[in-house]
Amino acid sequence: MTTLKHYLQFTDLTADEYAYLFERAALIKKKFKAYEKHHPLVDRTLAMIFEKASTRTRVSFEAGMYQLGGSVVHLTTGDSQLGRAEPIEDSAKVISRMTDLVMIRTYEQSKIERFAANSRVPVINGLTNEYHPCQILADIFTFIEHRGPKDGTGNLTDCLKGKTVAWVGDGNNMANTWLQAASLLGFKVHVSTPRGYEVDEKLAAGAHGISAGSYQFFSNPMEACQGADLVTTDVWTSMGYEAENEARKKAFADWCVDTEMMAAAQPDALFMHCLPAHRGEEVEADVIDGPQSVVWDEAENRMHVQKALMEYLLLGKLA
Ligand code: CP
Ligand code: NVA
């Protein structure tokens, strides 16, 4: 029996645990590519609860769980009692008696925390207004694949040490999670957001705190990109904020990642976007569809890292 561990924020795991997870994800991906069976979760069930839309999170968790030998139950607000005001605490008690693992995509972080506090099984954050840890897990794994040791040996997270990630855009769930990852894994984030859409440092610090030296704010997005090893952005309007769409379009007009910003970064800088993307808004087509973009690897890697995560939360470290 492993001790009950939830994955609600990026800082819920340690740097050592991440080093293990990335190694494991590489192995799991290799086996997948070789059509080799990897079934550690036979007879285990994942409940997926979606209160917001999804393509990647749904497909990666569902396909991933089947590939691990388990099965999934898919619930949404509209087709379950969650949408008819059953208390979260009651839902958590019931769902976690029948399944082995729960993934939730919802609005406030406090909702997933209440669920986890009443769950008998591990709970994974599949995106909240505040954080998106599974996405950053995939993004960092993707960085390691492109810029890490070619023979895949040693501590895979070492290649991140001293590197700079430029965040251009909204101070949202993705930005908060990048700050957590930087503090834990020893890299720096240059953040540039329009005025009024800044990162909330208290939120980014989250439950376990982050180091102030691991991030820096820039009012000019070009300056944030200067010398960066990775440039990344996200939609101007996250799910749940649609009423602000028009105001955001005006405020974010200068925060479109273009070829000029990429030219300010390192010559071999990568471009990432968690997707879905809006070409001509937060990123130019020439950048997202250009040679420095690794967005399709990033999307695929959601599945491989989450398989490693699900296995770890249920079975612990395996030899
Ligand atoms: N990046 C991401 O989480 O995508 P979905 O909203 O499609 O799940
Ligand atoms: N920040 C975006 C990410 C989508 C995957 C949102 O929350 O809608």
DSSP secondary structure letters along 229-268? SEEEE--SS-TT-GGGHHHHHHHTTT--B-HHHHHHS-TT
Ligand at shortest distance from the CA of 56: 1
3-state SS of 42-83?
CCCEEEEEECCCCCHHHHHHHHHHHHCCCEEEEEECCCCHHH
Atom from ligand 2 closest to the CA of residue 274: 5
Greatest CA separation found in the chain? 53
Ligand 2 atom at minimum distance from 52 CA: 8
Distance between Cα 239 and ligand 2 center (Å): 6
Q: Identify which of 189, 175, 182 has the alpha carbon closest to the alpha carbon of residue 274.
A: 175
- 120-140 burial, b at 16+ Cβ within 10 Å, e below that, comes to ebbbbbbbbbbbbbbbbbbbb
Give the distance (Å) from ligand 1 centre to CA of residue 57: 5
Catalytic status, residue 74:
no
Residue 249 sits at φ, ψ, to 5 deg, of -55, -40
* Ligand 2 site-directed mutation target among 106, 274, 278, most atoms within 8 Å of CB: 274
Question: Which candidate in 9, 67, 109, 135 is catalytic?
Answer: 135
- Asked about 109 being catalytic, the answer comes back as no
Other CB atoms within 10 A of residue 149 CB: 12
Q: Which domains does the chain have, with CATH numbers?
A: 10-131+299-313 (3.40.50.1370), 136-296 (3.40.50.1370)
pLDDT tens by residue, 44-80 = 999 999 999 999 999 999 999 999 999 999 999 999 9
- Selecting among 6, 248, 302, 304, the annotated active-site residue is 302
Query: Tokens at residue 239, please?
Result: 């799910």
- Give residue 128 CA to ligand 2 midpoint distance, Å: 8
If one counts every other C-beta atom within 10 angstroms of the C-beta of residue 48, the result is 23
Q: Is 274 a catalytic residue?
A: yes
| Options 159, 225, 256, 274, the catalytic residue | 274
- Share the mean pLDDT of the chain: 97
Lining residues, ligand 1, CB within 6 Å: 54-57, 127, 135, 274-275
Note the ligand closest to the C-alpha atom of 169: 2
100 is catalytic: no
* Lowest model confidence (mean pLDDT) among 106-120, 149-163, 207-221, 253-267: 149-163
C-alpha triplet 13, 88, 311: angle, nearest 5°: 35
In this prediction, residue 42 has a pLDDT band, given cuts at 50, 70 and 90, of very high
> From the alpha carbon of 275, which atom of ligand 2 is closest?
5
pLDDT at 1: 60
Residue from 91, 7, 104, 112 nearest 48 by CA: 104
Q: Give the integer Cα–Cα distance in Å for 95 and 243.
A: 33
Q: Which of 54, 235, 281 to mutate to test the pocket of ligand 2 (most atoms within 8 A of CB)?
A: 235
**pTM metric for this prediction:** 0.98
pLDDT at 61: 99
- Rounded Cα distance between 136 and 142, Å, is 9
Determine the distance separating the centroid of ligand 2 and the alpha carbon of 236, expressed in angstroms. 9
Confidence of residue 150 (pLDDT cuts 50, 70, 90): confident
If you take atom 4 of ligand 1, which residue's CA is the nearest one?
56
* Cα-to-centroid distance, 94 and ligand 1 (Å): 27
Is pLDDT above 70 for 8? yes
Q: Using one digit for the tens of pLDDT, what is the confidence trace for 290-306?
A: 999 999 999 999 999 99
* Closest alpha carbon to 166 in 214, 210, 228: 228
* Percentage of the chain lying above the pLDDT 70 cut: 100
Q: What are phi and psi of 308, to 5 degrees?
A: -65, -40
8-state DSSP, 4? P
pLDDT score of 110 = 98
DSSP state of 279: B
Does an H or E element contain 155, and which? none
Q: Which two tokens stand for residue 278?
A: 């809006």
Q: What is the Å distance from ligand 2's center to 238 Cα?
A: 5
- Which runs of consecutive H residues, i.e. helices, occur in the chain? 15-33, 56-67, 88-98, 109-117, 133-147, 173-185, 201-205, 221-225, 245-251, 259-264, 285-288, 295-315
Q: Is 12 a catalytic residue?
A: no
- 297 in active site: no
Evaluate whether 102 touches 310 at the Cβ level (below 8 Å).
Answer: no
